Amino acid sequence: MARVVLPHMPHHVVQRGHNRQVVFAGDEDYERYLEDLRELSSALDIRVYAYCLMTNHVHLLLGPGEEVAAMGRLMKALAARATRYRNRLEGRSGTLWEGRYKSSPVQTETYLLACTRLHERPRCHGTQRGRMPALRSKQ
């Protein structure tokens, strides 16, 4: 089934580690993911409003531009980079993520507020959270 992606609207995106395994083991893992997120979101014209990186999953608040397929390309590239990185570090192969990412358009103020609160407070040890300036490569 195709995803519902609406242009210029925030989307709550969640991607979980396979079998709830650790995806981010240390600060350098978080930093690498965020750098990839900055680079890819800029190249693909995706706004990053907020993020919350947990040890075994991520929450992102993303806003695609006109080209809604770019959000899928962003998530695919992020997943691939993180998987190659973790597999290389651990000398392993295979998937890092549990299936496809989940996403839903944020269409109400109540949902937006809930997403914003999730991205503002730590819920467990090792959480990296924050806001990025709304990045866009094309103005």
Q: What is the C-alpha to C-alpha distance for residues 113 and 99, in angstroms, rounded to an integer?
A: 27
How does pLDDT run across 60-70, given as a tens digit for each residue?
Answer: 999 999 999 99
Q: Quick one: tokens of 63?
A: 């806003």
Domains of the chain in sequence order: 11-130 (3.30.70.1290)
Q: Look at residues 32, 64, 46 and name the one whose alpha carbon lies nearest to residue 128.
A: 32
* Total-model pTM: 0.84
Q: Quick one: tokens of 50?
A: 């907020």
How does pLDDT run across 83-107, given as a tens digit for each residue?
Answer: 999 999 999 999 999 989 999 999 8
Q: What is the C-alpha to C-alpha distance for residues 48 and 51, in angstroms, rounded to an integer?
A: 8
